Amino acid sequence: MSQEALFELKQVEKSFVKGKETISIFNDLNMTIDRGDFLAIMGPSGSGKTTLLNMLGGVDQPSGGEIWFDGARMDNLSESKLTQWRAHNIGFIFQFYNLMPMLNAARNVELPLLLTRLSRSQRKRSVEAALALVGLSDRAKHMTSEMSGGQQQRVAIARAIVSDPKLILCDEPTGDLDRTTADEILEMLQLLNRDHGKTIVMVTHDPAAASYARQTVHLDKGKFVHKEVLA
């Protein structure tokens, strides 16, 4: 296993049982994701992009094969261990932001910190820093339900980075946004990757979005069919 690899997938299999049928999404999927990479995953609908992302994020488990993260095997962890693992290592960004409507921006960002041992003042500082990074310091007390889509996604980004995870997983982070706003968000991800050393894996349908990544892989019928390296 290379020193650089953050993730290593070995002969990963994934299938779903639907009634009497078993649908196989992946059989024998192999890949490595390096530290500091910004990887875009593209592919037609139903090709298994979200399923792959879920397995990387530890919310879903493969039916076979191995997934190694940071030198340790993680696909066979128990559910409660995986939950802890997610809290420590992964930041999630969703297409529809998935913020808590009854909490203001700052409290939404603070949410992952409830899973840490940080003191109240340390948490406050982290939240302020994360909000500053996404340019929303002046909106800390605003309710997210009264914000634009772009602003909500920035709050979501702040939430994803506030506990300083190694890896950020995004599923269609710009799927609900117009071009200009999408570009803002993508630039922000790029900044996190370049200047803050975050490893990012992003699923997208949009080639323009993928162009912000360092690499793009195309997934079809459970296989990588094509790989582009940009910068």
Partner 1 sequence: MNDLYLIYKNMTRKPLRLFLTCFAIFIAFLIFSAVTTLKSALDSGVDLAADDRLVVVNSINFTQPLPIAYYQKVAAIEGVKEVTHLNWFGGFYQDAKNQIITMAVEPESYLRVYNEVVVIPEQKSAWLQTRQGILIGRKLAETQGWKIGDKIPLSSNIFSHKDGGHSWEFVVSGIFDGVDENYDTRYAVFHYKYFMETQTFGGDWIGWMTLVTQDPSINQQVADVIDATFANSQAETDTSTEKAFNKAFIEQIGNIGLIIFGVVFMAFFTILIVVGNTMALAVRERTGEIAVLKTLGFSAPRVFGMVLVESLLVALIGGFLGLAMGWLIIEGAKSSMAQFLPNLAMGGDIVAQAVLYMILLGLVTGLVPAYNALRLNIITAFNRS
Ligand X SMILES: Nc1ncnc2c1ncn2[C@@H]1O[C@H](COP(=O)(O)OP(=O)(O)OP(=O)(O)O)[C@@H](O)[C@H]1O
Q: Which residues bind partner 1 (CB under 8 A)?
A: 54, 57, 59-60, 79-80, 83-84, 86-88, 92, 94, 98, 100-103, 107, 110-112, 114-115, 123, 159
* Residue of 2, 3, 45, 180 interacting with ligand X (CB under 6 A): 45
Give the count of beta carbons closer than 10 Å to the beta carbon of residue 53.
20
Contact between 49 and ligand X by CB under 6 A: the answer reads yes
Q: Considering only residues 51-90, where is the footprint of ligand X by CB under 6 A?
A: 51
Contact between 50 and ligand X by CB under 6 A: the answer reads yes
Closest by Cα among 75, 64, 95 to 7: 75
Tell the smallest beta-carbon distance from residue 62 to partner 1 (Å): 13
Contact between 46 and ligand X by CB under 6 A: the answer reads yes
Q: Considering only residues 39-68, where is the footprint of Mg ion by CB under 5 A?
A: 50
* Residue of 9, 48, 74, 82 interacting with ligand X (CB under 6 A): 48
Tell the smallest beta-carbon distance from residue 59 to ligand X (Å): 11
47 binds, among partner 1, ligand X, Mg ion, none (CB under 5 to 8 A by kind): ligand X
Tell the smallest beta-carbon distance from residue 14 to Mg ion (Å): 14
Which residue, 36 or 175, is less far from ligand X as judged by CB?
175
Tell the smallest beta-carbon distance from residue 43 to ligand X (Å): 6
- The residues that touch ligand X, with contacts defined as CB under 6 A, are 16, 18, 23, 25, 43, 45-51
